[in-house]
Amino acid sequence: MKRILGAAWLFLATGPLLAGDIHGRVVCGGQSDNADAVVYVAKIPGKTFPVPKEHAAIDQTNRVFQPHVLPILVGTTVDFLNSDPYLHNVFSPDACADKFNLGTFGKGEKRSHTFRKECFAPLLCIVHPEMEAFIAVLLTPYFAVTKPDGSYYIRDVPDGSYTLKVWHAKLKGSEKSVSVHGATEADFKIAR
């Protein structure tokens, strides 16, 4: 009974902790499909988020980075795996990603890098110049990557008013204001 009364008091003192979802569709003009756009809540004023204890991961398989686009929270460590039977390398020339170069490593090996600044950085392989991927290092954990049909879904966003942004490696970004109260829909059209 004490626990129930305590929870009721906490509810009355702080109000309900409500969260909603943001969903919609991004149309990527001039692309073969609508995949790989990052939709994200830009920031929540006065709020910071703990760095995830679990590492994110990108695999190198069949000379392709998987996934092609990876959104993460600032401070996240990413493990880069090599699942191919030949050597790979991972580097980024961007200052916001600390211009890192993990060197060359073989099948079954893993190298890691921690992304400490907000940015959108390309990932490349010196051994295979056709390989390219992108890391979106964001200030909030409220993000999603679009599917080929352009759909996305961001769960458990605290109720409130925010700027929702879209980033794509080949297209101009976009943004709009959204008010989250339960299920919220936001569609975008982006192009060059």
Where does the pLDDT of residue 45 fall: very low under 50, low under 70, confident under 90, or very high at 90 and above? confident
Q: Which domains does the chain have, with CATH numbers?
A: 15-44+142-192 (2.60.40.4130), 51-139 (2.60.40.420)
Beta bridge partners of 154: 22
How is 40-92 classified by DSSP, letter by letter?
A: EE---TT---PPPSSPEEEEEETTEEESSEEEEETT-EEEEEE-SSS-EEEE-
pLDDT in tens, 57-94: 999 999 999 999 999 999 999 999 999 999 999 999 99
User: Distance between CA atoms of 114 and 116, rounded to whole angstroms?
Assistant: 6
Contact 122, 98 (CB under 8 A): no
pLDDT in tens, 93-135: 999 999 999 999 999 999 999 999 999 999 999 999 999 999 9
Confidence (pLDDT) at 18 = 78
Answer whether residue 11 shows pLDDT above 50. Answer: no
Confidence (pLDDT) at 57 = 98
**DSSP label at 27?**
E
**Using CA atoms in the order 175, 74, 155, 177, what is the torsion angle rounded to 10 degrees?**
-20
Answer whether residue 3 shows pLDDT above 70. Answer: no
H/E run at residue 26: strand 19-28
